[in-house]
Amino acid sequence: MAAEIRQQPGVIEKTLKAEWRNAVKLREHFTHHPVRLIVLAARGTSDNAAQFGRYLLEISTGIPVSLAAPSVSTLYGAKLNLREAAVVAISQSGESTDTNIVLERAKASGAFTAGITNEAESTLAKLAQHTFLVRAGKERSVAATKTYTGQLLCFYLLAYALGAPLELADLQRIAGWTEAALKLEKEIGERAQRYCLMRHAVCVGRGLNYANAFEFALKLMETCYVVAERFSSADLLHGPIAMLESTFPAFVFCPPGVTWKATKELLGRLHSIQAETLAITDRSNKAAGAKGTAKVTLTIPAELATESKLPEEVFTPIPYIIPAQLFAASLAAARGLDPDRPRTLSKVTRTI
């Protein structure tokens, strides 16, 4: 897991270089064949990537996005009208049975189908009319890391193809920002020792980093066996914050931009109850480490804000998940666990 976390800048660079031309070609297709709806189908880590895709696509293109409920097709056999829709299946292996069924039935109903996968010869890649390939190489750890960030990158490419005002130059900077995030590895390893006996936690993100809250929590659950709940800052304040108390671990993604005001309010509440709060941010958000916010701040040594036409934090999700992945790997090691082989799990999970 740790080795694959370190490979991510190269994976991002390789994927962007190989797939940019495909995104340009697909943009030409959507110019002549626009869609009115996007449906994303995935499970597990890929489903967390789809959460990011939903925010990015709706914010950057204005096209409504729905997350598929595979059981509607696989168990209930419902037939959906998906004409003028694009249905996208996301799967690391490309062999997730239920998401492939969703894609197959969507294609039969008249939808344009696309896939995001790491396996060029997979069932998913053969089913989809268009496939974005994550160029991650073989992922050996059961806990997905480099395929998750590769999938996020592919969503930027899909957004571009659907008309988003994204620039290649900005996407090319993501690999460098990810490399900068890896510089926190030693500090994170030392911080993780403090949480060696942790049994429960909350992971919090808002907007474009909401998906990262889900992914961080998943990594804590599957590699460290921590009961980790995931929330947006708004949802946590609407009730679940009542379960938090002094020393309760809370991990919060703190990018600059439109979500910061609400996140800062939450940090103040967590500070008032003396929660064990750890924030993930970058140098663009200088207020994140101020007094009365988080107890500990992991600051990526780079400024991720750009002059893009999109929200200020649009490029933070990939670099921001790196400290979370490193934390989960470090905590598993500190607890004497093998994050590459979590109990009762296998790399490919087939469900219907």
Domain segments of the chain: what residues? 2-166, 175-334
Distances (CA, A) of 132 to 97, 113, 292: 19, 11, 44
Confidence (pLDDT) at 26: 98
Q: What is the residue whose two structure tokens read 């929200």? A: 311
pLDDT of residue 301: 96
Mean pLDDT of 330-350: 77
pLDDT reading at 290 higher than 90: no
Mean pLDDT of 56-72: 96
pLDDT number for residue 346:
55
C-alpha 276/C-alpha 345 separation (Å) is 30
Q: Which residue has the higher pLDDT, 298 or 295?
A: 298
| From the candidate CATH numbers 3.40.960.10, 3.40.50.10490, 3.30.1360.30, 3.40.50.720, the one assigned to the domain spanning 175-334 | 3.40.50.10490
The architecture (CATH level 2) of 2-166 comes to 3-Layer(aba) Sandwich (3.40)
pLDDT attached to residue 352: 60
- For the chain, the average pLDDT equals 94
pLDDT in tens, 133-157: 999 998 888 899 999 999 999 999 9
210-224 vs 317-334: helix crossing angle, rounded to 10? 20
Strand runs labelled E in 181-319: 200-204, 227-231, 249-253, 276-282, 296-300
pTM above 0.85, yes or no: yes
What is the per-residue pLDDT for 68? 93
The predicted pLDDT at position 292 comes to 79
Residues in the chain: 352
Instruction: Give the strand order in the sheet containing 65-67.
Output: 65-67, 37-42, 85-91, 112-117, 130-133
What is the b/e burial string over 190-203, where b = at least 16 CB atoms within 10 angstroms of the residue's CB? ebbeebeebeebbb
Of 352 and 297, which is predicted with more confidence? 297
What is the pLDDT at residue 230? 96
Q: Are 228 and 220 in contact (CB under 8 A)?
A: yes
Average pLDDT of 84-98? 95
Q: What is the pLDDT of residue 84?
A: 94
Q: Tell me how many degrees the CA angle 153-351-49 measures, rounded to the nearest 5.
A: 15
Under a CB-based contact definition with an 8 Å cutoff, are residues 217 and 209 in contact?
Answer: no
Residues 125-135 have a mean pLDDT of 97
Residue 2 half-sphere exposure, CB side, CA atoms within 13 Å?
A: 12
pLDDT given for residue 36 in this prediction: 97
Residues 40-53: tens digit of each pLDDT? 999 999 999 999 99
Give the mean model confidence (pLDDT) for residues 225-233.
Answer: 95
Q: How far apart are CA 215 and CA 272, in angstroms?
A: 27
* % of the chain exceeding 90 in pLDDT: 84
| Domains 2-166 and 175-334 are alike in CATH topology | yes
CA separation for the pair 244, 252 (Å, rounded): 14
pLDDT, tens digit, for every residue of 156-185? 999 999 999 999 999 999 999 999 999 999
Instruction: Report pLDDT for 350.
Output: 58
pLDDT for the residue 345: 54
- Residue 16 is predicted with a pLDDT of 98
In Å, the largest CA–CA distance within the chain is 57
Q: What is the mean pLDDT of residues 243-272?
A: 94
Q: At residue 344, does pLDDT exceed 80?
A: no
Confidence grade of residue 340 (pLDDT, cut at 50, 70, 90): confident
Report the C-alpha gap between 309 and 295 in whole angstroms.
33
Closest CA to 210 of 262, 172, 169, 158: 262
pLDDT on residue 349: 59
Beta pairing, strands 65-67 & 112-117: unpaired
Whether pLDDT at 207 is above 80: yes
